[in-house]
Amino acid sequence: MAARVVAPQLEADGSLRIDLGISKQERMLPAWQAEYGLEVPPAAEFDYDQAVARLKKCCYSNGYIHSPENAGIPVSMTREEAWFWLQAMCGGSFQPDKMAGKKSWKAPTHSQVMELLNSGIDSSDHSSPSMRSVLSDSWYPELVAAVTTLLSPEQVVDFIRANCVAFEHSALSQYNAGFGQFLAGCCMHLTPYLSREKCQELVKPFMQALRKDPDLTSVDGITALAAVAVFGSTGIVTGTLRQTKAKIMPYCHWLFARVESLAVYEELLQLREPRFEGLYSARLVLAASGVSRLDHFRACLTGLKPDQQRVMKTLRRVLHPGMAPLMLELRSKHKEAAAWLRENVVHAAVGLASHAAGADEHTHAAKSFWQELWQSQPETARQALEWVADASRPVLEKLGASTHSSREQQASTLPEELAEVFSSLKSRPGPSWLAVGALPPITVRGVPLTQGQVKGLIHGWKSSKDGNPPRWSPLIVAWADAESLHRFARHLFEQWQKEGCPAADAWVLMAACVWGSEEFHLRLSRFLVYRPLDSPWPHTRACAGVRALATAATPVAISQLHRLAHATHESMQRTEARKMLEQAAESRGVSLEHLADAHVPTAGFNRAGRRIFETGGLSLEARLNDRLELRFPLPDGTEGRRLPPRARTLDPAEHLRLSAACRHARRLLRDTWEVQVLRTRQAIAQDYQRPVEHFERHILQHPLLARLAQLLVWQSMPSEGSPVAFRPAEDGSLIDVQHREITLPPGSTVRLASPASLSPEEVRGWIEHLADHQIIQPVKQFAALACLPLPAELDKVKVNRFTGAETTIGQLKAAFAQEQWSHDKPQEDGGYTRHFRAFPGGKLYACVRHSRVWLQEENWRKENLDERPAEIEDVWFIPDQIPKKEWRNSKHYLAIRDVPPAIFSEVFSLLHRMTGVPVPESSS
């Protein structure tokens, strides 16, 4: 880069021919490049045919120029290309016959440029397109770029003084709305090289024009205000924008950036919606505000999506380093922002240097960017380091040194099979939002993987088919250090979540779940709860997370799938969770309940309900109470929830780790308790029966389920003989209602007892037994009365006890929804007449036919649904192997005597509560 020449100040006499002392290269520098000292982007060689093709994209069929976004005018261009575009813009239309041919094209002289500009400005033929109409279509940024390429700064001064009164002409004011912004752009091109005194001198004629139109009712006043703002009179800009009652033209909203008071700036934003109408507006905002007013750009990105895209296309061409924080913030939402960071690495690095070395809201992302830059482009990082401030340089050098030293990899340490995996992976750039350098390392045998290897893993996940894990993923799990892999997965998910959860990168859910710990699986299940306002794709994201949990298949993941399948209100997520559970059970050849019993987390506790927390040379024993709550024994013989006093002797860092481990254990225990209580309610209603061997292995020997089982009453179903009710005691024995120890016969099954499976005397006996032992059950096992078939109903296939008994539509819908019943397909008007519920334990469905209700509380029906009557008509049961299209055929219905009593009682107890009809005494 050429050495920068310091521009001497202009003399007070305002001589137009004074040498400003600007080098030839610096004449191409916008204000920000002169300020930062960055290299000028090299101008590509002019291609006449390509320029003609780009110009045609900007024209209507009649040749009239429009759509400046399609011109693609570069930031730096040769004088030949600038002359091409200046001729086109001053003519206002595409006229190849009036342009020189390709062979004779050459750079113009100064007199030719001035003649063309004056003819375009002074043209009196308003019926044909001209530079005025081009400027009114927001072409002034392109015109400024062409003019400042062809004219030196001294010649720009001449042009400004010769035309500063042009906007006083009524014809020009009427037809040339963009001239003021164009003139302000020319002024802005000079400000890096002019003294404050010279700026004040040049602003005088514009101040006089502003005094004639202080309310900004014409283009004259707006043009004058633009020039006044450029030359530094910010107080006048603030006062004028606040006091004027006129509607400021959109292309002058960049003036807001010259408001020095943040309170006044926010006040103006509330009064007038900011917009951008061209590339140079964005450049003027940055140059006029000294550093950068990113709030103004951010406010301009709050409109409709097409408007946001237009603004981002404009901002992408602004190579100001001050744009870097905003582009880093928006990279996951706008591909233009990601492209800006990718194509302008040096400018981004310079703009983010102060943030990476400081402590603000951009610090984390800025450090991540610099870490990634040190890894992927070390030479570019060193080049950018030459231009950063002295205060930031030591921090970034240290960051670079630590990054390189922490990522060195010895190929010989990798296992042979892993080395083959990495040799087959392609190291490709990851998503725009992902800062690979900020991710914690994955270590194999204590040595971290290189950045290229990590990028290969990420590319493999991103390109995996059908969202399934890559075939090499188990090898990474087997050989990588578990703690480093869990930490990597957690930070990968956090970056994705912080960037707004881009839908195109939903593979992150699968990668983080497969490589993450059980603690992360518990966290992920909470994240997947249906929140339509927090996610632009809530259904798809929730289903993708459900599939990720099913792939991980850890005890916590399976437990959370069961909760999502039965306790969530989002239908797509609930259906997907049930589907994943069914597939997992089918692949293992077991039932759903068997799968859920075999995958219950232990939270680190042994069969005696004890767990040892070891940290800092200190061992602390934790115990469980009857409700699976974590307790610590105290010196006085009691138990407390808090850590014992001797934990205070630990180092602060060790104490924090111990507290985090206890907090996770409590969270996991609480969640396991909730899920198992939910399963207990379902098992009672479904009359689910477990084989005795399964019951002893997965219930009685499990550290958590064994304590829950002690609070419940069970029933043994031998192959021969009568059922026997029992309860597991605290010492591990099984006792009946009379406290006699029993044994479970081989080949029998075990189920949870219910009022329908016990006699009234047995129910009363067990209630007294539980009261004597001061047992508070997690579910009210004997609270409801048994509701059994009447003798006259045993041989029927349809039952209706509720003829003439009415409820309301609101109560009927609420009761069925609370117990997770489903309704049949609605008719065209949204009405339906059937509800059904699956009972897998009994291998049947229960169906209820009722009077017509509707899918929603529709406003066009004047009646209140809570007051409209509804009636239960018929109840029947059908085997689950019968297809739904045959459900109306009564020959498939089960006789009531073939329905398990617990299921019959569950269905009819709900209907009795819904209608208020008392349970018949002979049915109790």
Phi, psi angle pair for 624, to nearest 5°:
-115, 140
Instruction: State the number of CA atoms in the 13 A half-sphere of 830 facing the CB.
Output: 8
For the sheet containing 734-735, what is the strand order?
A: 689-691, 749-752, 714-717, 724-728, 734-735, 741-742
Residue 709 scores a pLDDT above 90 = yes
pLDDT classification of 380: cutoffs 50, 70, 90: confident
Q: Give every CB contact of residue 713 below 8 A, 6+ residues apart in sequence.
A: 725, 726, 727, 752, 753, 766, 770, 781, 782
User: What stretches of 409-470 show up as alpha helix (H) in DSSP?
Assistant: 416-424, 451-462
Structure-model confidence comparison of residues 622 and 46, the more confident one? 622
Per-residue pLDDT, 702: 93
Determine if residue 37 is left, alpha or beta; phi over 0 gives left, psi from -120 to 50 gives alpha, anything else beta.
left
pLDDT of 260-308, one tens digit each? 555 665 665 555 555 554 444 544 454 444 434 566 667 667 666 776 7
Per-residue pLDDT, 516: 92
- Highest-pLDDT range among 48-57, 371-380, 599-608: 599-608
pLDDT of 432-476, one tens digit each? 778 777 788 898 888 888 878 888 899 899 888 777 899 899 999
Distance CA 315, CA 307 (A): 12
Per-residue pLDDT, 179: 57
How many helices (H) and strands (E) would you count in the chain?
Answer: 38, 17
Per-residue pLDDT, 331: 80
For the sheet containing 630-633, what is the strand order?
A: 610-615, 618-624, 630-633, 639-640
Residue 24 scores a pLDDT above 60 = no
Per-residue pLDDT, 17: 32
Q: What's the average model confidence in pLDDT over 833-858?
A: 80
Tokens linked to 53? 């093709």
pLDDT classification of 148: cutoffs 50, 70, 90: confident
pLDDT of 661-680, one tens digit each? 899 999 999 999 999 988 88
Tokens linked to 700? 């009685």
pLDDT of 593-617, one tens digit each? 899 999 999 999 998 889 999 887 8
- Window from 148-162, 282-296, 633-647, 882-896 with minimum mean pLDDT: 282-296
Q: What percent of the chain has pLDDT over 90?
A: 14
- Window from 152-166, 410-424, 466-480, 518-532 with minimum mean pLDDT: 152-166
pLDDT of 219-252, one tens digit each? 567 667 766 766 666 567 666 766 665 555 444 5
Structure-model confidence comparison of residues 739 and 171, the more confident one? 739
Q: What's the average model confidence in pLDDT over 681-687?
A: 80
Residue 768 scores a pLDDT above 50 = yes
Mean pLDDT, the chain, integer: 75
User: What stretches of 231-304 show up as alpha helix (H) in DSSP?
Assistant: 234-243, 262-271, 279-288, 294-299
Angle at 37 between CA 31 and CA 41, to 5 degrees: 80
Q: What's the average model confidence in pLDDT over 702-710?
A: 92
Per-residue pLDDT, 644: 87
pLDDT of 310-338, one tens digit each? 677 767 766 677 778 888 888 877 888 88
pLDDT classification of 681: cutoffs 50, 70, 90: confident
Q: What's the average model confidence in pLDDT over 583-589?
A: 90
Q: How many CB atoms lie within 10 A of CB 698?
A: 18
pLDDT of 338-358, one tens digit each? 888 887 888 888 888 888 877
Structure-model confidence comparison of residues 688 and 213, the more confident one? 688
- Highest-pLDDT range among 410-419, 442-451, 778-787: 442-451
Distance CA 836, CA 882 (A): 14
CA distances from 875 to 311, 682, 838 (A): 62, 20, 14
CA distances from 476 to 313, 409, 417, 454, 515 (A): 41, 16, 10, 11, 9
Burial of 384 (0-12, 13-18, 19+ CB in 10 A): buried
Q: How many CB atoms lie within 10 A of CB 8?
A: 13
pLDDT of 149-182, one tens digit each? 787 766 776 676 666 554 444 333 333 445 555 6
Terminal CA-CA length for the chain? 95
Q: What's the average model confidence in pLDDT over 819-841?
A: 82
Residues 844 and 880: beta-carbon distance below 8 Å:
yes
Burial of 226 (0-12, 13-18, 19+ CB in 10 A): buried
Distance CA 184, CA 281 (A): 10
Per-residue pLDDT, 289: 45
Tokens linked to 826? 């609605």
Per-residue pLDDT, 726: 94
Query: Computed over its alpha carbons, how large is the radius of gyration of the chain?
Result: 38
Per-residue pLDDT, 18: 31
Quickly list DSSP for 306-326: HHHHHHHHHHHT---GGGHHH
Residue 36 scores a pLDDT above 50 = no
Residue 408 scores a pLDDT above 50 = no
Q: What's the average model confidence in pLDDT over 787-800?
A: 86
Instruction: State the number of CA atoms in the 13 A half-sphere of 516 facing the CB.
Output: 27
Q: What's the average model confidence in pLDDT over 805-825?
A: 84
Residue 804 scores a pLDDT above 50 = yes
Per-residue pLDDT, 734: 93
pLDDT of 96-144, one tens digit each? 555 555 666 677 887 788 777 776 655 444 444 455 555 555 565 667 6
Per-residue pLDDT, 600: 92
pLDDT classification of 750: cutoffs 50, 70, 90: very high
* b/e 290-323 (16+ beta carbons within 10 angstroms → b): eebbbbbbebbbeeeeeebebbbebbbbbbbbbb
Predicted model pTM? 0.58
- Highest-pLDDT range among 137-151, 374-388, 725-739, 853-867: 725-739
Largest CA distance in the chain: 119
Burial of 902 (0-12, 13-18, 19+ CB in 10 A): buried
Residues 425 and 456: beta-carbon distance below 8 Å:
yes
Q: What percent of the chain has pLDDT over 70?
A: 69
For the sheet containing 869-879, what is the strand order?
A: 806-808, 869-879, 844-854, 831-839, 822-823
